[in-house]
């Protein structure tokens, strides 16, 4: 970690934040609530995280707040278990990185931990996630890492392309509010593009209904182990661990999910569903990387060219 700097700062109204940076990139976390990663980007440049201005700096509220940034959940999604309070201070430790820990929640009995590490230069950072079952009984769940990304970008999702000629090779999961003709999604042969549209309202002909803040969500298996969010002429690439043949949440195959509305776009990776006993844990690693001077692709061939240029296949999870 030589060349990696950490310092305590205030950020967006939260007084107790920590910056971790090297020669090229910076992450900012808050210890007032969360865990949350509030900033990821080149130093003193564009923030690829979305932080909700009306919730910035708040803590101690009596209801769940999204805040924005990167957070850690558990799947399958359910209320109130998934939406447990994260409005109180986190425990933290600074050693060869930053470790944030959420005290055991009284509703779910889960203990959450996020650890951030990086090298002295380069844009690649590693995010290690952990959830420990602190209940006195077994629980089956999936660790769910969600990044609330800044508005205005295009998410590039590689589709499965391998498989026997006469048999199906992919499943895509939809939610009740997902509209297949939504103008934000582009169904290509080898990729799916999902745009974040700050307007997020359009006319549904012939009923001529107006939609405001219409959400959209899909889930699928992404065997390539990466997705890329192109925004502000930069690519925010998220690599994530995959387990071949495992059973994942949401119909058994969703190792990756994406959600968007008029405010943001969520980039979500998941672990297989795992039964944990008391004191047992689930771990999940993501690696984030930034690339500059990247134009958003408009078709399959341009997406292939981008992936080749950035060296995205195979997914390089190790730092």
Region 25-47: what's the mean pLDDT?
97
Q: Do 25 and 118 contact (CB within 8 A), yes or no?
A: yes
Range of the domain at 218: 5-310
Indicate whether 271 belongs to any domain.
yes
pLDDT at residue 297 is higher than 80: yes
Q: Tell me, yes or no, whether 180 lies in a domain.
A: yes
Determine the length of the chain: 319
pTM for this entry: 0.94
Mean pLDDT across the chain, nearest whole number?
93
Residue 317 lies in a domain: no
pLDDT-based confidence at 139, cuts 50/70/90? very high
Q: Is residue 316 a part of any domain in this protein? A: no
For residue 57, tell me if it sits in a domain. yes
Over residues 146-167, mean pLDDT:
95
The enclosing domain of 183 has a CATH number of 2.70.98.10
- Side-chain-facing half-sphere of 79: CA atoms under 13 Å: 2
Tally of structural domains, the chain: 1
In a domain, 319, yes or no: no
DSSP letters along 176-213, please?
TT--TT-TTEEE-SSEEEEE--SS---EETTTTEE-SS
In percent, the amount of the chain with pLDDT more than 90 equals 84
The answer as to whether 61 is a domain residue is yes
Residue 149 CA to residue 260 CA, distance in Å, equals 9
**Per-residue pLDDT tens over the stretch 219-256:** 999 999 999 999 999 999 999 988 888 999 999 999 99
Using omega within 30 degrees of 0 as the cis cutoff, is the peptide bond preceding 76 cis? yes
**What is the structure's pLDDT at 206?**
47
Residue 128 domain-assigned?
A: yes
């Amino acid at each position: 970690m030589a060349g990696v700097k950490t310092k305590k700062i205030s950020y967006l109204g939260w007084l107790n934040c920590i910056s971790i940076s090297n020669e090229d990139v910076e992450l900012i976390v808050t210890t007032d609530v969360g865990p949350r990663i509030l900033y990821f980007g080149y130093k003193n440049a564009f923030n690829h995280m979305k932080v909700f201005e009306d919730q910035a700096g708040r803590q101690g509220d009596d209801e769940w707040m999204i805040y924005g940034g990167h957070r850690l959940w558990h799947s399958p999604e359910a209320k109130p278990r998934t939406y447990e309070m994260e409005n109180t201070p986190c425990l933290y430790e600074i050693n060869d990185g930053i470790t944030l820990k959420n005290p055991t929640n009284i509703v779910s009995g889960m203990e959450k931990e996020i650890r951030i590490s990086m090298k002295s230069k380069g844009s690649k950072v590693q995010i290690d996630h952990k959830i420990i079952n602190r209940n006195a009984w077994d629980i089956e769940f999936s660790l769910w890492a969600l990044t609330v990304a800044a508005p205005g970008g295009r998410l590039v999702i590689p589709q499965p392309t391998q498989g026997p000629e006469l048999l199906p090779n992919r499943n895509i999961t939809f939610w009740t509010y997902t509209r297949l003709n939504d103008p934000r999604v582009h169904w290509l042969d080898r990729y799916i593009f999902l745009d974040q549209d700050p307007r997020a309202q359009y006319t549904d002909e012939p009923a001529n209904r107006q939609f405001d803040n219409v959400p959209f969500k899909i889930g699928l298996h992404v065997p390539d182990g990466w997705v890329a969010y192109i925004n502000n002429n930069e690519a925010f690439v998220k690599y994530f661990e995959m387990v071949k043949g495992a059973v994942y949440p949401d119909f058994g195959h969703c190792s990756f999910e994406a959600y968007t509305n008029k405010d943001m776009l969520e980039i979500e990776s998941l672990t297989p569903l795992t039964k944990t006993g008391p004191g047992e844990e689930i771990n999940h690693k993501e690696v984030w990387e930034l690339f500059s001077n990247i134009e958003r692709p408009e078709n399959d061939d341009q997406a292939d060219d981008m992936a080749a240029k950035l060296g995205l296949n195979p997914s390089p999870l190790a730092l």
